[in-house]
Structure formats: C-alpha cells, structure tokens
Chains A and B, each alone.
Chain A
Amino acid sequence: MSTRTTAFWCVSAAAMAAGLFTVSDHVRDHKEQLAELNQLVLAERERIQVLRSELAYLTQPQTLEIQNARALSLVPIEADQLHRSSFLPARTANAPEPPRNRVRAGRDGDSISGLPTETPSRLSFSPSAEEWR
C-alpha cells in the first residue's frame, strides 16, 4: 500500500469520525431539547388534570346555586314554561287574518315601542297551564 493511499484512508477516516461526531452531537442536542419539551408536556398534562378537577369542583350544582343567588338571580326553568306546538289552539276558519303591519326604519321622535302593536296578535297560549290542572 502506497503512502498516498494510506494517507487518503487516514484523512477519510478522520473526516468521517469528525462528521459522525458532529452529527451525533447535534442529535444529542436535539434529543435534549425534545426531552425538555416532553417534560413540559408532562407537566402541562399534570396542570390540565388539576384544572379539570378545579373546574368540576367549582361547577358543583350547589356552588352554582350560591353564585347564582349572589350575582344573577336566575331561576330554574319551570315545567309550566314548556309547551308543545301541538297544544296551540287551531285557528278557526272565519278568523280574520292576522295584521300584517309593515316594519319601517325608526325615525327621530318615534316612541320606543314604535313598532306596530295597535292590533294584538291572535296567537296566544291558552288555556294556561293552571287551567289544565
């Protein structure tokens, strides 16, 4: 083997070793970054789990009722407020057409309740739930 060939292989081997070392060093750096990210993901999951628990705790029906009484005064829906459209009384054949008032854009001087209300609608809930009892 000539000296030139030997030198070529030595240089090649050295270059490959250096290249391999550089690449593996980069890979290690990236792996460390990935590991850090993975640790962050795990920590984040832990926090999410805590937040889910806190959300469930804070939305207990009893807690919501107390908060509602303090700030909103909402009332639960009553069964009497629910109706089926099939319960609406049928319109009789000779009943006059419901008024078709045109809605126009508001102008200065209109009353707040300026939309047509002179003729009440014939559509109404009747009889009341109380009468059904």
Chain B
Amino acid sequence: MNRHRSPSPALALARKRLAFGILAFAASLSILSVKLVGLSTLTPDKQPSTEQVRSEHPVQRGDIIDRNGRLLATSIVSRALVAWPPQIDDVEVVAAQLAGALPWLSFEEIRQRLSLSRKFVFVARRLTPQDQKAVLDLGLPGIGLKPEDMRIYPYGRLTAHVVGRTKPSDAGPVGNAGAEQRFNAILSDPAQSVQLSMDIRIQHILREELARAMEYFSAIGAAGLVLDIRTGEVQAMVSLPDFDPNRQASMDETQANRASLLVAEMGSTFKLLTLATALDQGISSLTSRFDATTPIRAFGHRIGDYRGQNRVLSAAEVIIHSSNIGAAQIAEKIGATVFRDYLDKLGLMSRPALELPEVGHPIVPRTWRPLTTMTVGFGHGLSVSPLQTAAAIGALANDGVAVPVTLLRRAAPAQVQRVFSPETSDKMRWMMRQVVLRGSGSRADNASYPVGGKTGTAEKVVNGRYDRSKRLSSFVGVFPIAEPRYSIFIMLDEPKARKETFGFATAAWNAVPVAGAVIPRVGPILNLPTAGPDSDAWMQDIVPEPFLSQLFTDGEA
C-alpha cells in the first residue's frame, strides 16, 4: 500500500507558485530594506560639516594689517544684482521696476543689460543691504543676488600707495598694485594675512604735514618717508597726489608713487655720501681745504655754487654751505672706482628689494667719465629714488651699516652690510647736526628730538635740459641724531616761492619745515626718549670745541 501519495499536479503547481511569490516578495523587501538602510545611513550630507565651517572663510582673500594690527585692507561679502535674460518675459517692465527700487541705477542702463543676448549678466555690483531687500521684495523671475567678495580699504587715500588695490576676476579679487599685488599669492589664501611695517599714526602725521606744505607752496606733488634705520622697516611712506582705492579703478601718471617709483637727481643731499666716502678712505678730513673761489671748468662744463662763498672752504664748510665746487673736488679725489663701489654698497646703483611692484630702477650713467664722478659728487648725473636716498643716509648714521629696506614688520634685519667705519659714521652725524645748527636745515630742529640732515634742491630735467623753474626740494634727516633711530625724507615737487619765503623756493624754506613739523609729533608715538639739557654734548667727543675754528674759517665757530 502506498501510504505516501504523491501530490496532485495542481497542488504541486500551486506550491511552486507560492514559493516563487514568497521569494519574489522577500527579494523585493530585501531590496527595499537595503535601499532604506542606505538612504537613512549612507546618504552623504550636503550641509557643510563643522570642520568645513571651522576652516571656511566668508571671503576669499586675506587681510593686510599695519604693525599694530590695524586693518588696512579686508574683504567683506557683498551681493551683486544678476539676471538670467532668457527667463525675463518683459524687459521694459522689469527694468522699470528695478530702476524704481534702485534709484541710483538708470532705467536705460538696466534695460541695456537685460537686453543682452546672454544666459547670465551682472546688472550692478556692491548692493547695500537696503538695495538687496528692495530687489528681493520685488520677487522678479530671472532676477537674483549673487554673493561676491568686496575688497575694502578702511583708510582709503592714507595707505593707497603702499597697500595698493585689486581688480575683480573670475577667481576673485586679484592684486594689481602695491602690497596687494606683491603679496597676491599669500593673500589669495583667506586664512593668511600680511603684516606691514608701517604705522598708521606716523603715516597720518606725515601725510597731513606734506599735504599742508604741498598746498601752501603750490607744489604739483610731494613724497615722504620715515624709516627705522636699524631694522630697515618703512614706518611711513606717503606720495601725493594720491587716490582712493575704494573708488578709483585706475590711476593716472601724476598719482604714481613718488617715494619709491620716481627716480631723480637728488642734488645736494648726495654731498653727505661724497664726504663720507672721502673720510672713510682717508682721502680727506673735516679740515681739508678746497678752493671754491671760482667756478670749476672741467671737460667743457662749468661747475658753480648756488650761493657761492667765493673762498677756500674746509670740507665741513663744503657741506654747511652746500658747495658744488667743493663736493666736485672731493669726488674727483675719491675717483670713479672707489666712489662707485661705495654707492653700490649703499644700494644706489641697483633696484632696491622693497616688497612693492612700484619701485624704480636708478638711472646710472652708461659711461662713467671723470666729469660724471664730479657731478655725482654733488648729486647730479645719477638718478635714484627718495627711498634709496633715505636708506643710504640712514646707513650713514646707523654706525655705517646698510640695512635692506622692507615693508614687512621685522624685529631685526635679515642681512646687513658695513659700508662706513663707526668713526666715519660719527663724523658724519656731527656733520649732519652742524647743517641743522648752522646751515640750511635749521627749521627741522626741535629741542626734544635733535635732528641732523641735509637739504637738496635739484632742477628737473625737461626735454633733456635742466629747467630752473622746476625744482625738486628735499630734506633727508636722521633723528634723534645723538642716538640715531629713524631717517626721514621730505620732498616737494615743483614748489613755488612765496612772499613769506622772501621769494625762495629752496628746500630750506619748504621741505625742511615739514620735517620740523613731523618729528616732534611722531617722537612721542615712536616712544623716543627726549633729549636732555646737554643733548649735543656727544659732539664734543667728535670735534672738541677748540678745533671748531679750524673747520669754520668764516668766523662762525
């Protein structure tokens, strides 16, 4: 007997179908489960992570700050008004509505932008929060706001030439002048900032005094520098006329940086370097005599003095009276090779390594003839920038050690070079102080921060010829001269004579008083110790009183 009957074919078929249905259902459920698990656990987050937020910056560019952390250039997020023209049905209506919401934009201007056959256009940039709200309230299709970096310069004109400016690009703002251009690679990382050596307080004082003098003497331009001669830091650099980097996209030629880009013959300030070289080489002493009775005729040229003494002068008197004849004779005695070597060591023969794109190349004579040596001796024939002059005179006072100038804050100079001996430096400090006490620099002096320096008035070269009516008046000084710490350079471009200056337009009357106004104001800010009752006692160690009569033969001793 067959106890186990085989199932009927119909039942077997039903079972197979049931099994298949269960399998299909299980498979579907499994797929759904896997998908559910995947969706709930493995879906990547589109929101920024905490790490991203920590590292993310609202802007694309780093800040520029001054030596005290003051913000000189920064970026904020601004919104631009943008449009997608294909999505706009009636350009006239939309343009009219936008012009109503943004009264500073004309209807015609908007209409033209919206009529462009492009997929996407910028209509206006830098919308204020009020403007943004007005646009959003309109709720116009095809019109929107796009966040973008906006570079701003809180101090505007005050720091324009040093900080520079940027231009917009697809990758964000790109530096195209000043520190913005020089440090563009660093600033492109928003986490990085650049700290400059300049002090905004010193900068303000220097600019204010220069602007006042420029207006008073109807000059076409002015430049000023304050350098820390021990570290080479530029604490202030002003060039006038300047520009507002917040408003002006480009600048004209008159607004170029006169402090570092302009190169010109600096005139009599160079005589300090001529005498220093002669002293250092033992070619001359302060008492050496030079015949300045009559102008020199050399190689077909005549070298004369501006206000000639018409007598034999000591080397010290050559500087005090700013004798071209005397300086030319000293330079001739030094010789071209040695003189060029010293000028080279002082950085006057090559482009300074200041961290700015706007730094001028000195104009060095191609062939250095004997006459060239003589003219360079009194500051003609070699064109350098105010920056180079201030740094070279700074080296003279800084114990004879040249320090490379920098726009970055630093505690100590990277590399220094001794150019003059300490003894030469001491004698030249004495000499510079004498120029202020007895010569053309008297208006730069003050009781608290005694100054030493030298004036220079050079005629500008126009169409290859010296123009007597166009002058560069300059003063380069060091303060406090007993313990030199800072050099100052003041230059006025084409200052005019005034009734109050008795018809004179020379540096003694216009550039020197600017230094005289700046130094007492910046001294307390620079935390300089004030001078005591015997502030000039140090000079006795250099040239004792009884020897003065050998130096000053005109009875002034």
Residues of A within 8 A of B (CB): 17, 20-21, 24-25, 28, 31-32, 34-35, 38-39, 41-42, 45-46, 49-50, 52-53, 55-57, 59-62, 76-80, 82-84, 86-87, 127, 129-133
Asked if B40 and A78 sit within 8 Å, CB to CB, the answer is no
Could you tell me the distance in whole angstroms from the C-beta of B106 to the nearest C-beta in chain A?
28
B533 contact set on A, CB distance < 8 A = 87, 127, 131-132
CA distance A45 to B52 in the complex (A): 14
> Max chain A CB contacts within 10 Å: which of B33, B76, B535?
B76
Task: Give 27 CB contacts A-B under 8 Å.
Answer: A20-B41, A21-B36, A21-B40, A25-B40, A31-B45, A31-B47, A35-B48, A38-B48, A38-B52, A39-B47, A42-B58, A46-B58, A49-B59, A50-B76, A52-B71, A53-B154, A55-B71, A56-B70, A59-B70, A60-B155, A60-B158, A61-B200, A83-B530, A129-B447, A130-B447, A131-B533, A132-B531
Asked if A79 and B449 sit within 8 Å, CB to CB, the answer is yes
B168, CB-defined interface residue at 8 Å? no
Smallest CB gap from A24: residue in B: B40
- Size category of the binding interface on chain B: 35 or more
Partner of B74, one of A17, A28, A53, A83: A53
CA distance A131 to B534 in the complex (A): 11
Chain B 1-40 interface 0/1 with A at a Cβ cutoff of 8 Å (1 = within): 0000000000000000000000000000000010011001
Smallest CB gap from B523: residue in A: A79
> Max chain B CB contacts within 10 Å: which of A32, A86, A131, A132?
A132
B155 contact set on A, CB distance < 8 A = 56, 60
A84 contact set on B, CB distance < 8 A = 529-530, 532
Asked if B36 and A60 sit within 8 Å, CB to CB, the answer is no
Asked if A49 and B75 sit within 8 Å, CB to CB, the answer is yes
B204 contact set on A, CB distance < 8 A = 61-62
B156 contact set on A, CB distance < 8 A = 60
Asked if A20 and B37 sit within 8 Å, CB to CB, the answer is yes
Asked if B76 and A49 sit within 8 Å, CB to CB, the answer is yes
Q: A79-B520, A87-B532, A132-B531 given as contacts; is B448 within 8 A of A56 (CB)?
A: no
Q: A45-B57, A53-B74, A76-B521 given as contacts; is B48 within 8 A of A82 (CB)?
A: no
A53 contact set on B, CB distance < 8 A = 71, 74, 76, 152, 154
Asked if B448 and A80 sit within 8 Å, CB to CB, the answer is yes
B289, CB-defined interface residue at 8 Å? no
Q: A46-B58, A52-B74 given as contacts; is B447 within 8 A of A133 (CB)?
A: yes
CA distance A30 to B155 in the complex (A): 44
- Known A-B contacts: A28-B40, A76-B524. Give 11 more (CB < 8 A): A20-B40, A31-B45, A35-B45, A42-B58, A46-B58, A49-B58, A55-B71, A56-B155, A57-B154, A61-B200, A127-B533
B201, CB-defined interface residue at 8 Å? yes
Asked if A42 and B53 sit within 8 Å, CB to CB, the answer is yes
Could you tell me the distance in whole angstroms from the C-beta of B472 to the nearest C-beta in chain A?
28
B56, CB-defined interface residue at 8 Å? yes
CA distance A62 to B207 in the complex (A): 11
| A interface, over-half SS | helix
Smallest CB gap from B534: residue in A: A132
Residues of B within 8 A of A (CB): 33, 36-37, 40-41, 45, 47-50, 52-53, 56-59, 70-72, 74-77, 152, 154-156, 158, 200-201, 204, 446-449, 520-521, 523-524, 529-533, 535
A21 contact set on B, CB distance < 8 A = 36, 40
Smallest CB gap from B52: residue in A: A38
Partner of A38, one of B53, B74, B446: B53
Asked if B48 and A56 sit within 8 Å, CB to CB, the answer is no
CA distance A54 to B53 in the complex (A): 24
B59 contact set on A, CB distance < 8 A = 49
Could you tell me the distance in whole angstroms from the C-beta of B481 to the nearest C-beta in chain A?
15
For the complex of A and B, the 6 pairs showing the least CB-CB separation, nearest first, are A79-B448, A35-B47, A56-B154, A61-B204, A24-B40, A56-B71
Partner of B201, one of A57, A61, A79: A61
A39 contact set on B, CB distance < 8 A = 47-48
CA distance A27 to B529 in the complex (A): 65
Could you tell me the distance in whole angstroms from the C-beta of B267 to the nearest C-beta in chain A?
30
> Max chain A CB contacts within 10 Å: which of B41, B53, B531, B532?
B53
CA distance A62 to B244 in the complex (A): 15
B53 contact set on A, CB distance < 8 A = 38, 41-42
Q: A34-B50, A56-B155 given as contacts; is B529 within 8 A of A78 (CB)?
A: no
A49 contact set on B, CB distance < 8 A = 58-59, 74-77
Asked if B524 and A79 sit within 8 Å, CB to CB, the answer is yes
Smallest CB gap from B529: residue in A: A84
CA distance A21 to B33 in the complex (A): 11
Could you tell me the distance in whole angstroms from the C-beta of B187 to the nearest C-beta in chain A?
15
Partner of B532, one of A35, A50, A61, A132: A132
Could you tell me the distance in whole angstroms from the C-beta of A23 to the nearest C-beta in chain B?
9
Asked if A82 and B154 sit within 8 Å, CB to CB, the answer is no
Q: A42-B53, A56-B71 given as contacts; is B41 within 8 A of A24 (CB)?
A: yes
Smallest CB gap from B447: residue in A: A133
Smallest CB gap from B74: residue in A: A53
CA distance A62 to B152 in the complex (A): 18
Partner of B448, one of A46, A52, A129: A129
Smallest CB gap from A34: residue in B: B50
Could you tell me the distance in whole angstroms from the C-beta of B520 to the nearest C-beta in chain A?
5
CA distance A17 to B446 in the complex (A): 87
A52 contact set on B, CB distance < 8 A = 71, 74
CA distance A84 to B531 in the complex (A): 9
CA distance A31 to B447 in the complex (A): 69
Asked if A60 and B448 sit within 8 Å, CB to CB, the answer is no
Could you tell me the distance in whole angstroms from the C-beta of B533 to the nearest C-beta in chain A?
5
Could you tell me the distance in whole angstroms from the C-beta of A116 to the nearest C-beta in chain B?
32
A130 contact set on B, CB distance < 8 A = 447
CA distance A3 to B345 in the complex (A): 99
Could you tell me the distance in whole angstroms from the C-beta of A62 to the nearest C-beta in chain B?
7
CA distance A80 to B531 in the complex (A): 10
Asked if A79 and B75 sit within 8 Å, CB to CB, the answer is no
Smallest CB gap from A38: residue in B: B53
Asked if A38 and B76 sit within 8 Å, CB to CB, the answer is no
CA distance A50 to B201 in the complex (A): 23
CA distance A45 to B70 in the complex (A): 18
B56 contact set on A, CB distance < 8 A = 42
